[in-house]
Amino acid sequence: MVNQGKNGIDVVLAESLKELSRTRPIEKITIKEITDKAGVIRPTFYNHFQDKYELLEWIVREELMKPAMPLFNAGMIREGLAYILTTIENEKTFYEKAVRLEGQNAFSDMLLSCAKEIVLNHMDYGVVAKKLKYDWVSPGLIAEYYGATACMLLLRWIENGMQQPVNEVVDVYLALSQESMLNILC
């Protein structure tokens, strides 16, 4: 096994899940199949993850969000979004299967959690306090609003077969998120 250690095992398990998803729905893949493919024993999996859905969330955080964070931190929102979409596009089959997960382990919920975290980490609380003077408008509500908008567009793009170019999807998201609804409707 090439990658040893906790993070190395995580990567091997993630690659195993992604490879298995090429031929089967994620919800049908068993822990035994993941560990057999990865060349590790089942207890090793449980030393790292509670279940395959926690592994899937690890993939979203480590392969999509974590590498994009330096771009977001540098104010390069367009580039960060393009990185995430390009990564998804490069693993098209896996993410097309992941987007079908619903219920308590819904892929959409994993994405929303990550998107909200990104917005919260980059929100200017002073600006928010000045512009939105109501106590019930919390940073969490604002993060959920913008995160949900980004996720909805991303999920539709995946569900529709990723037919639009990455830069076009990024352009649409940035235009919609920066434009007032009043300007669009009038």
pLDDT in tens, 117-143: 988 888 877 777 777 778 788 888 888
pLDDT value, residue 135: 79
pLDDT value, residue 2: 40
Q: Within a 10 A sphere around the Cβ of 150, how many other Cβ atoms? A: 22
User: What is the chain's Cα-based Rg?
Assistant: 18
Mean pLDDT, the chain, rounded, equals 90
Tens digit of each residue's pLDDT (9 = 90 or more) over 30-88? 999 999 999 999 999 999 999 999 999 999 999 999 999 999 999 999 999 999 999 99
Domain(s) labelled CATH 1.10.357.10 in the chain stretch across: 52-185
pLDDT value, residue 186: 59
Percent of the chain beyond pLDDT 70? Answer: 95
Q: What is the mean pLDDT of residues 142-171?
A: 94
In 3D, which of 163, 158, 47, 75 has the Cα closest to residue 110? 158
Q: Is the pTM of this model over 0.95?
A: no
Which of residues 175 and 31 earns the better pLDDT score? 31
Q: How many whole angstroms separate alpha carbon 156 and alpha carbon 173?
A: 12
Whether 1 shows a pLDDT value over 80: the answer reads: no
Compute the CA torsion angle 38, 96, 78, 183 (nearest 10 deg).
-160
pLDDT value, residue 131: 76
* Helix (H), strand (E), coil (C) string for 124-141: CHHHHHHHCCCCCCCHHH
Whether 160 shows a pLDDT value over 90: the answer reads: yes
Fold of 5-48: Arc Repressor Mutant, subunit A (1.10.10)
Domain(s) labelled CATH 1.10.10.60 in the chain stretch across: 5-48
Which listed CATH number (1.10.10.10, 3.40.50.2300, 1.10.357.10, 3.40.190.80) goes with 52-185?
1.10.357.10
Q: How many whole angstroms separate alpha carbon 94 and alpha carbon 76?
A: 27
